Amino acid sequence: MDPDRTATQPATGAAVTPVYDDAVVKMFFTATVVWALVGMLVGVIIALQLAWWPANLGLPWTTFGRLRPLHTNAVIFAFAGNVCFTGIYHSTQRLLKTRMFNDTLSRIHFWGWQGIIVAAAVTLPLGLTQAKEYAELIWPIDVAITVIWVVFAINFFGTLARRRVKHMYVAIWFYMSFVLTIAVLHIFNSLAIPATLVRSYPVYAGMTDALVQWWYGHNAVGFFLTTPFLGLMYYYLPRAAERPVYSYRLSIIHFWALVFLYIWAGPHHLLYSALPEWAQTLGMVFSIMLLAPSWGGMLNGLLTLKGAWNKLRSDPILKFMVVAVSFYGMSTFEGPMMSIRAVSGLAHYTNWVIGHVHSGALGWVGMISFGMLYWMVPRIFGREVRHPTWVSHHFWLATIGIVLYTVAMWAAGLMEGLQWRAINDAGQLANPIFLDITARLEPFLWLRLIGGTMYLVGAIMMAINFWQTIRGSGRPVEAAARAA
């Protein structure tokens, strides 16, 4: 065997065991669980508002228009963001066999990020927003995000610089693309001229603003909800399965193809719009190509279980991860299909898009996160999970919840899309009254609410389980097991 390769193998029983900073991992872990509940609860509330409008409560601060950005920001930047940081701070130290570069920077990163989330939770219900999807936060918070991201980047690259292994494992590549790309996206999409402390106007106008925003928006999906989570998959799935990753070659090809192709896909959000035709076509073509590297990642994850499929029967953590990777494959098939101009013509503006987003967010991001958190608890808190059976219950609640959610949204989306466009024999709209179609959506909206609530209940069970575990009623992990 090439000796170079063995350099990245674990120094089992090595003389020097680096002391890792797991305190910051625990902080991010706790924040993850708290924000998961907040973000998902707001999601359930706004789902209720769509099914039953009086739930808007007649107050300015609680209308759908103000709470929806709170939901998206909370689940993306608070829940998923803290998941990424938990996993990155935990796995990077172990993969590079060194402590994080600087403990103070780690804490500034942690508290800065939580402060940003709290600021978002205060400003969004107050109607302080830039009204660009997933980039709603007002300019002073944008500045804070930039500063904290630079702190994170210094800490991350500083850790890389003092690593004690020669070669960086594939998870690190994905983390690196996350750190770099989010910085580029955030800075260029947020360029604006302030009018007051809470209001600003973007330097881009009209369709240019739309293109820059969806370049950002789609790559927030690509580089905030995909690449870091693929990195987490590459570390935690092989760990949980106790199998090496299926293919090193595939990981090289799909990494570079993914990061190169993703960035082009934004204009698929603007098909049939007034965006210049050439840009729409580029967005569509690259979105379709994106299927290949996405499935490369899915296959590399799933085939890692080759020879270990029997473990799926008994291990709920692996179940979470395998379902996550399967949903990743499904939604990265659906996405390119929806980017085809003709399909977009039907799906755009409908609930179908909401269903698609949630099969990615609940199915991929949520499930891989839960798998990682359950795997991590005994290893960083030193206690076995208090209620092992609840892990299984959580898995089934979440899985059935997602299925109800996406099926309801597919049905609602197709119905809306078809009824909006239906033309009768006289050449007139078959459903001239928009609200007639809205009324027909109601049963699907209730079904979606049930699915989402099941998902939330699962997350609450997880939180209680962790709380009781960490508070001391979990059985201590045996030292030998912990070292593993």
Partner 1 sequence: MADEQNNGAHESETAYGRFHRRVLEGRAAVFAIATTVAISIGGIVEIVPMFSASLGPETIAEVTPYTPLEQAGRDIYVREGCYLCHSQMVRPMRAEILRYGEWSRAWEYQYDRPFQLGSRRLGPDLHRVGGKYPDAWHYEHMRDPRATSPGSVMPAYSWLLDWTTDPADVTASVRALSKLGHPYESTDEEWVRGQMQSQGETIVANLAQTGIETSWDREIIAVIAYLQRLGTDGRRVLEARETAQAEEADAADDTRTADASEVSGAGGSR
Q: Is 280 or 399 the residue whose CB approaches partner 1 more closely?
A: 280
Within positions 160 to 189, which residues make up the interface with partner 1, using CB under 8 A?
160-161, 163, 166-170, 173, 176-177, 180-181, 184, 188
Interface with partner 1 in residues 17-36 (CB under 8 A) = none
Binding mask 239-278 for partner 1 (x = CB under 8 A): x--xxxxxxxxx-x---x--xxxxxx-xx-xx-xxxxx-x
Four-CA torsion 321, 327, 329, 330, nearest 10 degrees: 160
Nearer to partner 1, 246 or 295 (CB): 246
Beta bridge partner(s), residue 429: 423
Strand-pairing partners, residue 192, are: 202
Q: Which of 24, 36, 42, 50 binds partner 1 (CB under 8 A)?
A: 50
Q: Find the binding residues for partner 1 in span 320-339 (CB under 8 A).
A: none
Identify the sign of the CA torsion 84, 227, 46, 48: negative
| Rounded Cα distance, 100 and 110, in Å | 13
Beta bridge partners of 201: 193
Burial annotation 261-298 (CB, 10 A radius, 16+ → b, else e): bbbbbbbbbbbeeebeeebbebbbbbbbbbbebbbbbb
In the complex with partner 1, which residue's Cβ is closer, 349 or 467? 349
Rounded to a whole number of angstroms, the minimum distance from the CB of residue 135 to partner 1 is 9
Interface residue with partner 1, options 14, 118, 396, 421 (CB under 8 A): 421
Which amino acid is located at 147 in the chain? V
Q: Tell which positions 204-233 bind partner 1, by CB under 8 A.
A: 204-213, 215, 223
Are the beta carbons of 220 and 137 closer than 8 angstroms? no
* Site map 51..70 versus partner 1, x via CB under 8 A: --x--x-x-x--xxxx-xx-
Residue in 81, 112, 228, 283 binding partner 1, rule: CB under 8 A = 283
What is the Cβ-side half-sphere exposure of residue 11, based on CA atoms within 13 angstroms?
14
Residues 104-163 binding partner 1 (CB under 8 A) are 127-133, 157, 160-161, 163
* Structure tokens that stand for 252 in this block: 């090289």
392, 374 Cβ separation under 8 angstroms: no
Alpha-helical (H) ranges within 131-247 are 139-161, 170-190, 206-224, 227-241
CB 234 within 8 A of CB 169: yes
For the CB of residue 460, give the shortest distance to partner 1 in the complex, in Å.
27
Assess 286 for contact with partner 1 (CB under 8 A). yes
Residues 360-419 that bind partner 1 (CB under 8 A): 416
**Contact window for partner 1 (CB under 8 A) among 27-35, 79-87, 349-357, 457-465:** 349-357
- What minimum distance in Å lies between the beta carbon of 250 and partner 1? 8
CB of 10 to partner 1, least distance (A): 5
Picking from 183, 47, 56, 70, the residue whose alpha carbon sits closest to that of residue 118 is 70
> Which of 37/263 has CB closer to partner 1?
263
User: Could you count the other beta carbons within 10 Å of the beta carbon of residue 256?
Assistant: 13
Name which of 411, 418, 483, 478 is nearest 451 in CA terms: 411
Q: Which is nearer to partner 1, 115 or 194 (CB)?
A: 194
- Count the site residues for partner 1 by CB under 8 A: 123
Look up residue 310 and give its two tokens.
Answer: 């029997």
CB of 206 to partner 1, least distance (A): 3
Q: Minimum CB separation from partner 1 for residue 283, in Å?
A: 8
Q: Please report how close the Cβ of residue 464 comes to partner 1 at its closest, in angstroms.
A: 29
For 58, the token pair is 């007649």
Minimum Å distance from CB 126 to partner 1? 9
In this chain, which stretch among 35-43, 328-336, 341-349, 392-400 interacts with partner 1, using CB under 8 A?
A: 341-349
Which of 14, 122, 194, 478 is the binder for partner 1 (CB under 8 A)? 194
E strands, 214-312, are: none
End-to-end CA distance of the chain: 24
Q: Give CA separation, 77 vs 266, 421, 436, in Å.
A: 19, 36, 36
Report CA dihedral (459, 462, 466, 467) to the nearest 10 degrees: 60
Q: Report the nearest approach of partner 1 to the CB of residue 166 (Å).
A: 5
Q: Which is nearer to partner 1, 224 or 264 (CB)?
A: 264
> Among 35, 89, 229, 235, which residue sits at the site for partner 1 (rule: CB under 8 A)?
235
The one among 81, 87, 112, 202 contacting partner 1 by CB under 8 A: 202
